[in-house]
Amino acid sequence: MSSTTPAAGSHPRSVPAPSALPDYARIPQAALGPALNAQGYYVGRVEKNLYWVTDGTYQSAFLTTSDGVVLLDAPPTIGHNIQRAVDEIAAANGVSNTVKYLIYSHHHADHAGASSLFDKNVVRIGHEETRRLLIRDNDPARPAPEEIFQDRRTLNIDGNRIELAWQGSNHSPDNIYIHLPDHDTLMLVDIVNAGWAPVYICNLTEDVQGYLGAPAKALAYRWQHFIGGHLGRLGTRDDVTLHQQYMADIDASVRKTLPTIDPAPYFQRYGENAWAGVKGYLDACTDAAAAPVIEKYTGVLAAADVFTASTTFWVMESIRLDLGYASWVHP
């Protein structure tokens, strides 16, 4: 999820007039969060000394402790507003505003790209694969974590327990579960967007089967508050369950649809252009499988009509390629 702004003096390519862009269903009011302040952020208490910050699209969170602030992710879209939010809360409560620890949920720049804004003495903590990927990708905005773990690590910072766990790849190979048992909270980023459909291809997921299994792993923890990393409000257990049902409906629709669509007409139509035949066939499968899911979830999950087809395509490819469903062997 990113936007590009043409450099000054460049000539932007012509784009359709806004009036020519498609209309979509209205966003359910329940998908939206609190209003942002004049600086473009909202900061609120999750529970006790745990707070969350949003710019309406991305989320970060932090704990205030007598040993300094523990920051959970540093999305660049929130950027300098992270420290402003920390300052606001610290001043109101008379506690330190110094960010001493930064925990990475995973290595992606859209959740970690403000890391370098924080003092070089901050202790960065993350999964060992997060460290490996950040060293490989060599982005100065995202220093690699020095404190790493393999499967599980429990931090106790001034009496605040933070349980980090890696339970296999999902959205990315390194995405972790961050459980705060004393704050009744789970942070799991880029899996469930509370109130909203996932964006392109299951929230740009690398391992679809891991992605599909992640909500059950999340629900196995005890918590009431869910920090999903995206959009403008916190989540609930019901949000995670609804997402799980949506993905299960996509999965079931793909399995039901795939055997019913004959690829032959698409390949006959395009002859030696094999890729055009593939596109015609897979697009037809995607559209047929997505249609009933879009109908069921429009008005239930925001933007179901915007992104369900893309996510359906990705689930379909995983069902075909990872699971071998409906695969064909030459006689």
Binding site for Zn ion (CB under 5 A): 108, 190
d(CA 62, CA 74): 10
CB of 90 to Zn ion, least distance (A): 28
Residue 59 Cβ vs Zn ion, minimum distance, rounded to whole Å: 12
CA distances (Å), 260 to each of 254, 256, 284, 289, in order?
A: 10, 7, 11, 10
Q: Which is nearer to Zn ion, 108 or 124 (CB)?
A: 108
**For Zn ion, which is the closer residue by CB, 201 or 301?**
201
**Is the Cβ of residue 90 or residue 201 nearer to Zn ion in the bound state?**
201
- Output DSSP code: residue 302: B
Shortest Å, Cβ 171 to Zn ion:
5
Q: Of 78 and 294, which CB lies nearer to Zn ion in the complex structure? A: 78
Q: Which two tokens stand for residue 300?
A: 């239930």
State in angstroms the smallest separation of the CB of 230 from Zn ion: 9
Residue 78: name the closest of 229, 183, 184, 186 by CA.
229
139 CB-near residues (< 8 Å, 6+ apart) = 109, 113
DSSP states of 110-179 as a string?
HHHTTGGGS-TT-EEEEEHHHHHHHHHHT-TTSPPPSEEESSEEEEEETTEEEEEE--S-SSSTT--EEE
Nearer to Zn ion, 215 or 277 (CB): 215
The minimum distance between CB 137 and Zn ion, in angstroms, equals 13
Whole-angstrom distance, CA of residue 131 vs CA of residue 147: 9
The tokens describing 59, both together, are 């989320």
Residue 75 CB, shortest distance to Zn ion, in Å, is 10
* Closest CB to Zn ion among residues 129, 190: 190
Which residue from 215, 196, 221, 164 is spatially nearest to 54, judged by alpha carbons? 196
SS3 28: coil
Q: Which residue, judged by CB position, is nearest to Zn ion in the bound state?
A: 108
Q: Which secondary structure element, helix H or strand E, spans residue 11, and what is its range?
A: none
CB nearer Zn ion, residue 190 or residue 305: 190
Q: How far is the CB of 229 from Zn ion (least distance, A)?
A: 8
Tell me the two tokens of residue 258. Answer: 């795939």
Cα distances (Å, whole numbers) of residue 297 to 81, 237, 304, 313: 34, 18, 6, 17
Q: Which is nearer to Zn ion, 108 or 179 (CB)?
A: 108
Q: Which is nearer to Zn ion, 68 or 76 (CB)?
A: 76
Least CB distance from residue 315 to Zn ion, whole Å? Answer: 18
- Taking the C-alpha atoms of residue 30 and residue 195, their distance in angstroms, rounded to an integer, is 7
Q: How far is the CB of 77 from Zn ion (least distance, A)?
A: 13
The 3-class SS string of 173-213 reads CCCCEEEEHHHCEEECCCCCCCCECCCHHHHHCCCHHHHHH
